[in-house]
Amino acid sequence: MKHLSTTVLKDCTRISASIDRVVAPTPAGRLRAFVLHPTHDAGRAPLVVLHGISRNAKELARLFAPEAARTGRRIVVPHFTPNRWPHFQRPCRAARPDVALAGLMDFLATQDAAFARPAQIFGHSGGAQLAHRFAMLYPNRVARLSLVAAGWYCLPDDRMAYPYGLDDKNDRQLALWVRRHRAGLARFLSIPTEILVGDSDTDRDESLRQTSDLDVVQGTTRVARAATYAEALRTAASQAGVSADVTLTALPGVQHDVAQAIRVAGLARHVAGPDLFPFSQAV
Amino acid sequence: MTRFDLSQLTDAKWTFSTRRVDRAVVAAGDTAFDQARPGDLILAHVAELGQHKRVQLTSGRPSFIYPGDAVVLACGARYAPDQFEGIAEIDANGADLLAGGGCIGRMVARNSRVRAATRLIPAARLLDDAGQPVNLERFALQNTTRAQDIPVIAVLGTAMNSGKTLATAQLALGLRRAGYRVAALKGTGTGAFGDYNEYADTGAHLVADFTDAGMVTTFHEPLARVKQGMDRLLHHAAENRCDIAVMEIADGLFQRETAQIIADPAFQARISGLLFACGDAVAAAGGVAELARHGLRPDALTGIVSCSPMAVAEAEAATGVTVLRKEDLADPAEANTFALRALPDLRHSA
């Protein structure tokens, strides 16, 4: 497990980014988002930042703004509001956050073609749930995955029934979703994927789904489940004949708190990637 | 060549099947109707209203027609078991409006539940300044070998009105929502704007049909020409940077041209996916069996059968093939399963 530096970021504000608020009319309903536009364009894939159950999109937009400026990347922070999106962690009969997210990107692409490119998807907690499921359904739209502290995962194998895995238990409704997740499995497994989790994110609090099957197969904590998922991805990729690019990274001293991970462990900087102008000085 | 007043053409109702025609090409007309070939443009006047009380205009809207109206149509045959069977022949004393999209010919059979065809009096076969008949083929998309092949999902069905057009449109919608540039194409049939407009309404990035390939109808056309027409449409889609195409093949599996197409090894090799529309479970079983006889197996069933949960259960039990409703086809997650099977590997770069 790789450990990130805990160096606190210094803003590089001379190269700036503007923040727009948009409301996208998508086939699954309206979806709000913050869109960070850097003044300099790096020509890289857009970065989508998915919040967790605290729905702190505004805070994430503020925390990622320096990264948009520093890297020259467009960054989109959807806001699944509780009234309109009581369920946003995974596509199901009750809600289709996957369709909304795809619709949001299509909407943005009508104004800026760069948003039509496959995106890097970052998600924390419930956002990581949506991120990896979105990538399974639409691997054509995802360039890279950064999954942080998901409570549990959809394993890319049949050890568990859907939505924990890809066994359909001969149930027609499950079979429909399993088929959709399996259709692009090989392509999904080829997506570069980084799994991150705070090394202190070990509480079995009420926000962590706890079932005996889940505990046995995926582990009892987010740290254990992240490791299980990373290994499951590598194994599935090997069985599919796909060259996997999966890393597992511990965030030292970080609990289940994305703002803490960004401030203390430099998570946003790490995810957003290298500077647009690597030899320029931050001011 | 007969001199006639060209101003008649300005006032005439130009039908949908003539939409690609450069009207400036028309310089004259003759009355050699016995020499009319499929695709030749005919100026005719409405004599007596029958089944069709409207024609479809090039503008994409229907127009009521009245006795005496001048209409420009293309000579052609018609295969429509719920309306007419017709052939591409024109009698100077009177002809039939075989399709509202703009097909004039001779009706040889009709469904007993519909009225007789609207009667037309041919006025002229339209000619260019060299005295040559003006034919739709002249204005067709040109074939090209520059464009790369794009994957194509074929939509077949048991018969007219089994749900093929809706399935084609909804799958195109789902693929667009999944992030692809989509072409919605109609490979065979008789020219009409209903299907064309239904495709266009989905926001498909490119819509075209066999009339764009120079045919008012594919009925009675040689297989080689029908296939060439489909190739032209697919090349056109590729040239327009479409990632994937959904192509409807009209009518039922036993229709002459459709049967030839599904038996054709080149067609079988060309398609990347197959959707089959049918009305009930028995039709599903029969269709799947007939396709199997040609070595084909649909990826999914759809159509009228999907409206009934009981019929769905029976069809799936009888065939082992999943039945998809129109909402499923329009669902980007479902539509993407077709694309992911069809498209080559994608590169990832962040």
How, if at all, do strands B70-75 and B41-48 pair? antiparallel
Question: What is the dihedral angle through the alpha carbons of A210, A215, A220, A223, rounded to the nearest 10 degrees?
Answer: -110
Q: pLDDT tens, A261-283? A: 999 999 999 999 988 766 544 43
- Does A45 contact B322 at a Cβ distance shorter than 8 Å? no
Q: pLDDT tens, B162-206? A: 999 999 999 999 999 999 999 999 999 999 999 999 999 999 999
Distance CA A116, CA A131 (A): 17
Q: Which of A119, A226, A245, A240 is nearest to A183 (CA)?
A: A240
Secondary structure (DSSP) of B217-255 = B-TT--HHHHHHHHHHHHHHHHHTT-SEEEEEEEEETTS
Q: What is the mean pLDDT of residues A213-221?
A: 95
- Does B340 contact A102 at a Cβ distance shorter than 8 Å? no
pLDDT at B146 over 50: yes
Output the pLDDT for position A11: 44
Distance CA A227, CA B18 (A): 64
Report how far Cα B307 is from the mean position of its chain's Cα atoms: 25
Task: Name the residue of chain B whose CA is nearest to A109's CA.
Answer: B179
Closest CA–CA distance from residue A178 to any residue of chain B (Å):
11
Burial of B7 (0-12, 13-18, 19+ CB in 10 A): exposed
Q: Is B317 on the interface with A (CB under 8 A)?
A: no
A141 contacts on B by Cβ (under 8 Å): 178-179
Q: Is B346 on the interface with A (CB under 8 A)?
A: yes
Q: What is the mean pLDDT of residues B148-154?
A: 90
pLDDT at B152 over 50: yes
Q: Which residues contact A57 (CB under 8 A, 6 or more apart)?
A: A32, A33, A34, A51, A77, A78, A79, A80
pLDDT at B26 over 70: yes
Q: How many CB atoms lie within 10 A of CB B24?
A: 8
A105 contacts on B by Cβ (under 8 Å): 179
Residue B2's pLDDT band (cuts 50, 70, 90): low
Output the pLDDT for position A7: 33
Percentage of chain A beyond pLDDT 70 is: 92
Output the pLDDT for position A279: 53
Residue B3's pLDDT band (cuts 50, 70, 90): low
Reduced to 3 states (helix: H, G, I; strand: E, B; else coil), residue B46 is strand
Residue A6's pLDDT band (cuts 50, 70, 90): very low
Q: Specify the DSSP element, H or E, that contains B20.
A: none
Q: List C-alpha distances in Å: B220 to A153, B209, B211.
A: 56, 17, 15
Output the pLDDT for position A41: 84
Over its C-alpha atoms, chain B yields an Rg (Å, rounded) of 21
Closest CA–CA distance from residue B177 to any residue of chain A (Å):
7
The dihedral sign for the CA sequence B181, B326, B305, B343: positive
| Intra-chain end-to-end CA distance of chain A, in Å | 33
B331 contacts on A by Cβ (under 8 Å): 99
Report how far Cα B309 is from the mean position of its chain's Cα atoms: 30
- Cβ-nearest to B332 among A45, A99, A118: A99
- Does A180 contact B334 at a Cβ distance shorter than 8 Å? yes
- Does B336 contact A140 at a Cβ distance shorter than 8 Å? yes
Q: Is A29 on the interface with B (CB under 8 A)?
A: no
- Cβ-nearest to A102 among B332, B337, B343: B332
- Does B180 contact A99 at a Cβ distance shorter than 8 Å? no
Which one of A108, A180, A193 would you mutate to disrupt binding with B, by most B Cβ within 10 Å of its Cβ? A180
How, if at all, do strands A29-38 and A2-3 pair? unpaired
SS (H, E, C) A64-85: HHHHHHHHCCCEEEEECCCCCC
Distance CA B104, CA B84 (A): 12
Domains of chain A: 2-272 (3.40.50.1820)
Q: Which of A10-24, A237-251, B232-246 has the lowest mean pLDDT?
A: A10-24
Which pairs with CB-CB distance under 8 Å and at least 24 residues apart come from A264-268? A264/A6, A264/A8, A265/A4, A265/A5, A265/A6, A265/A198, A266/A4, A266/A5, A266/A6, A266/A7, A266/A8, A266/A9, A267/A4, A267/A148, A267/A196, A268/A9, A268/A63, A268/A64, A268/A66, A268/A67
Q: pLDDT tens, B32-89? A: 999 999 999 999 999 999 999 999 999 999 999 999 999 999 999 999 999 999 999 9
What number is the ipTM of this complex? 0.89
Q: Which residues contact A59 (CB under 8 A, 6 or more apart)?
A: A259
Which one of B205, B299, B346 would you mutate to disrupt binding with A, by most A Cβ within 10 Å of its Cβ? B346
Judge whether B107 and B96 are in contact, CB under 8 Å: yes
pLDDT at A4 over 60: no
What is the average pLDDT score of chain B?
A: 94
A240 contacts on B by Cβ (under 8 Å): none
Q: Specify the DSSP element, H or E, that contains B347.
A: none
Domain locations along chain B: 7-139, 152-342
A142 contacts on B by Cβ (under 8 Å): 348
Distance CA A135, CA A146 (A): 11
Judge whether A5 and A266 are in contact, CB under 8 Å: yes
Over its C-alpha atoms, chain A yields an Rg (Å, rounded) of 18
- Cβ-nearest to B179 among A44, A140, A143: A140
- Cβ-nearest to B340 among A91, A103, A187: A187
Output the pLDDT for position B221: 96
Output the pLDDT for position B85: 95
Q: pLDDT tens, A66-82? A: 999 999 999 999 999 99
Q: Which of B339, B41, B328 is nearest to B179 (CA)?
A: B339
Closest CA–CA distance from residue A269 to any residue of chain B (Å):
15
**Planar angle of CA A259, A262, A266, nearest 5 degrees:** 165
Q: How many CB atoms lie within 10 A of CB A159?
A: 16
Q: Which of A78-87, B9-18, B144-153 has the lowest mean pLDDT?
A: B144-153
Q: pLDDT tens, B291-343? A: 999 999 999 999 999 999 999 999 999 999 999 999 999 999 999 999 999 98
pLDDT at A58 over 80: yes
A231 backbone dihedrals φ, ψ, rounded to 5°: -70, -40
Distance CA A15, CA A104 (A): 26
Task: Name the residue of chain A whose CA is nearest to B324's CA.
Answer: A176
Q: How many CB atoms lie within 10 A of CB B277?
A: 29
| Intra-chain end-to-end CA distance of chain B, in Å | 66
Classified by CATH at the fold level, domain B152-342 comes out as Rossmann fold (3.40.50)
- Does A143 contact B180 at a Cβ distance shorter than 8 Å? no
Token duo for residue B218: 């594919």
Looking at per-residue pLDDT, the higher value among B147 and B144 belongs to B144
DSSP state, residue B134: P
The dihedral sign for the CA sequence B192, B193, B195, B199: positive
Judge whether A226 and A150 are in contact, CB under 8 Å: yes
Q: Is A144 on the interface with B (CB under 8 A)?
A: yes
The dihedral sign for the CA sequence B35, B40, B44, B48: positive
pLDDT at A152 over 90: yes
Question: What is the dihedral angle through the alpha carbons of B189, B192, B198, B204, rounded to the nearest 10 degrees?
Answer: 70
Q: pLDDT tens, B247-275? A: 999 999 999 999 999 999 999 999 999 99
What is the average pLDDT score of chain A?
A: 91
Q: Is B299 on the interface with A (CB under 8 A)?
A: no
Q: Which of A81, A26, A37, A40 is nearest to A57 (CA)?
A: A81
Question: Strand (E) positions, B40-102?
Answer: 41-48, 54-56, 62-64, 70-75, 78-79, 84-87, 95-99
